[in-house]
Structure 1
């Protein structure tokens, strides 16, 4: 059954060895650097019970309630429901949170699609993935993702350096496998379980490798150590840094010190083809949730910039309108790709409905590659005052407050306090340490740009443009080789055929 926020908090209290700032964390639910995100995740659980949001956040099946975002997508409407649920969460929170589960649970669905690959290794592994998907539906854990290793010397294979630089299996037992190494996992310290898997790796000529392992890790397992980066919450007053203090998702180096993983939690092992399949399809579903958050961030930039220019009437200037239009085009470009990815959804190899892969990955490239440029446009529209405005304490102090009230009051509608709040919001979103961290986080959370483009290359319909040019230029059939199509086999024709199949299935 779906959990409450209180049940979630209870589930992460315990004996975990969590370190931050050189000290041991006693209770992560009240620690100032972790509490803001723990509270947001607890709120998401409570929204599944709240009468005002339950119909958006949860669904009922066989007399049991489940979270919408954990539901396997079988129809296009499932994706519209997921999109609406995520928007509801972000709007309720008043900002963007990324690692809360909806963006990582989809990674397991890609293995559900690859059960034939898993069966080549051991049929038990495909059974394990079905079991764990069922557990997510029925027990509603906070599920996160573990990809990135400490790396080491990437010019050398892992076997030729400290073997622990990449997570690997050191022993097999009757109970399961014993693993050693480390993984970077955002939110791991306050989550319940992680889909732990290899990063992009150079396997060399090995068909089998102790590094080719994927499993579900219970984050309460003995032998795990959580070494967290310093959080942004509490480092500066919340009035001056409203986003840093509420939405920082703490990243963690999780050390696996000879950790036992039960066989029922192992999803693949010693099979590089399974590992490579997983890496190639990892974001088949989860890229949607990541890209949706870029859409919401675009809304935040537009809102902050528009409030700023309208205060003084600058929105009437053509140069300002053009910059606002650039932000709007960026926003609508993301929106169009997400909308089209659902509308032109495809049947996956495992029988699920996945967003149109070419459109989804192209939309992710747009959202990620242009983000830094859009942030700078928003900075320009917000003006230089976001980097020079004094903090709230100066506005409150009797010696300086009257002067700041005078110079920061724009008109009868925009008094100094609202002006200060807007500038503080824009500074934290665009100029702060937290803003820089979130921009860099795109390279970690969504994988690097070359991987984005590789995904587009693998999923774009290259034969469609070639077929058009073949006919337009009067080329012979042999230039197309084995990809020659019959009449009516265009990309759009094949899409209509797919849609007819999907409607029949629904």
Structure 2
């Protein structure tokens, strides 16, 4: 059944080992670097109980109330419902968060499509994926994704490196498999569990590999250690960095120090065919909510740039309007790819309705590869004041405040306080450490750019263009694609 925010918080108090800035975190729900994002996820749980949102956030199944975001997609309406739920969340919290469950549960759905691959290894493993998908839905589990290994010196083969540079199985027991290694992961320290699967790589080198492992890891399990990067929240006033202080999704190097994975949590191991399948289909569904987030980032850039132009009276200049139009084209390009991928959705091998694959993956390439250019256009439209404006303390202090209020007031409508707030928001969206971090996250969170392009190539139907040119060029009917 759907959880409440407090039930989610209590579930995090399971003795998990978390480190940040050289200190052990005793309570992730109250630590200043984690509390804001934990509160956002808790708010999402509470929205499912809120009469104002309940109909958009939940659905009934077998007399149970379940989260819409975790519902298996069987028809277009399921995707429309997810869009509406995400929209409700983003508008309620007033920002953009990515790793909150819906962007990672789709990776489990792609495994569901590969049940035959899993069954060829062991029938138990294919049954495990069905049970876990149901458990996530029934128990409203905050589920994330463990993907990238440290890897070490990649000029060497995995067997010639320190074996712990990639997660691997060290032994089997009656209770399950034991794994060692580490993964970098967003949100792991405040999630319930993670889907651990192989990293990007060539999985045809050997028939069996200790590195070819996929399983569920409980984030509070013995031997799991979360070593987090420094957080952005709490380092400065929210008045100066409103996004950093509320929406920082903290990453961790998650160390697996001889962690026991019960057999019921194992999807595959020592099977390179399964690893190859997982990597090729991993983002079949999850790319959609991932790209959807960039639609909201685009809206924030458009809104910030246009408010700035209206504050300064430059919104009627053609050159300004053209740059804003560039941002609009970026936004609508993302929207078009998402809309088309659902309108032309395809039936998956497992019977689910997946977004049209080449349209979705092409949309991901467009959204991710152009983000840095759009951020620069938004910076141009906001001007140099986003990097030179003093902080809120200076506006409030005697001596400096009167001068800042004088020179930052634009007219009767736009006084210094609103001007400062907009510039602080723009700085945090486009220029801050948080902004730079988010840009890098977007570029690598699901895969590096070459993998995005590979997904487009592998999913596109080339028969149409090949046949068109064969006929137009008068090539022999014997020529086949």
Band of TM-score, shorter chain: over 0.9
Provide the residue aligned with 1:238 in structure 2.
Answer: 238
Q: Which residue of 1 aligns with 2:119?
A: 119
Structure 1: distance between partners of 2:196 and 2:136: 15
Match of 2:81 in 1: 81
Residue 161 of structure 1 pairs with residue 161 of structure 2:
yes
* Equivalent-residue separation in structure 1 for 2:212 and 2:347 (angstroms): 28
Q: State how far apart, in whole Å, the 1-side matches of 2:416 and 2:224 are.
A: 50
Which string of whole-angstrom CA distances, capped at 9 and with x for unpartnered residues, describes residues 312-351 of structure 1? 2211111111101100000000000000001000000000
**Helix, strand or coil for the counterpart of 1:284?**
coil
**Partner residue of 1:4?**
4
Match of 1:343 in 2: 343
Q: How far did 1:202 drift?
A: 3.8
User: Is this contact kept in 1: 2:203–2:275, CA < 8 A?
Assistant: no
TM-score, normalised to structure 1, is 0.94
Question: What pairs with 1:30-49 in structure 2 (closer than 5 Å)?
Answer: 30-49=30-49
**What per-residue deviation string (whole Å, max 9, x for no partner) do you get for residues 241-266 of structure 1?**
00000000110111101000000100
Residues 204 and 344 of structure 1: is their aligned pair in 2 closer, same or farther, counting only changes over 3 Å? closer
| Inter-partner Cα distance in structure 2 for 1:253 and 1:337 | 33
**TM superposition shift of 1:137:** 1.1
- Paired with 1:443 and 1:263, the residues of 2 have a C-alpha distance of 35
Q: Distance in 2 between matches of 1:262 and 1:288?
A: 31
Contact 2:203 2:276 in 1 (8 A): no
| Number of the residue aligned with 1:207 | 207
Look up the match of 2:67: 67
2:203·2:273 contact (CA, 8 Å) conserved in 1?
no
Deviation of 1:444 after TM superposition, in Å, equals: 2.8
Instruction: Say how many residue pairs are matched.
Output: 481
Q: Residues 435-481 of structure 1: CA distance to partner in whole angstroms, max 9, x if unpaired?
A: 0000011233121000000000001111111111222233221122x
Tell me how far apart the structure 2 counterparts of residues 397 and 445 of structure 1 sit (CA, whole Å). Answer: 41
- Taking the aligned partners of 1:239 and 1:13, their CA distance within structure 2 comes to 30
After superposition, give the CA deviation of every residue in 1:299-323 in whole Å (9 maximum; x if it has no partner): 0000000000111221111111110
Match of 1:502 in 2: none
- Counterpart in 1 of 2:266? 266
Q: 1:14-413 maps to which residues of 2 (within 5 A)?
A: 14-203=14-203, 205-413=205-413
For residues 69 and 316 of structure 1, the distance between their equivalents in structure 2, rounded to whole angstroms, comes to: 41
Q: Is 1:344–1:356's contact at 8 Å kept on the other side of the alignment?
A: yes
Cα distance between partner residues in 2 of 1:123 and 1:14: 32
Find the residue that maps to 2:227 and give its secondary structure.
Answer: strand
The answer to whether the 8 Å contact 2:99/2:187 transfers is yes
* 8 A Cα contact 1:157 1:204, kept in partner: no
Q: SS at 1:370's partner residue?
A: helix
Contact 1:103 1:286 in 2 (8 A): yes
1:457 aligns with 457
C-alpha RMSD of the superposition:
0.9
**1:403-436 deviation per Cα after TM superposition (whole angstroms, max 9, x unaligned):** 1111001111110000000000000000000100
2:399 match: secondary structure: coil
Q: Secondary structure at the match of 2:151?
A: coil
Residues 419-434 of structure 1 aligned to structure 2 (within 5 Å): 419-434=419-434
SS at match of 2:284: helix
Q: Give the secondary-structure state (helix, strand or coil) at the position aligned to 1:107.
A: helix
Equivalents in 2 of 1:39, 1:300: separation in Å? Answer: 22
The Cα shift of 1:83 comes to 1.1
Q: Give, in whole Å, the separation in 1 of the partners of 2:343 and 2:202.
A: 37
Q: In the alignment, which residue of structure 2 is the partner of 1:13?
A: 13
8 Å CA contact 2:369–2:443 kept in 1: the answer is no
- 1:61-108 residue CA offsets vs partner (Å, 9 max, x unmatched): 111000001110000110111111111111111011111000000000
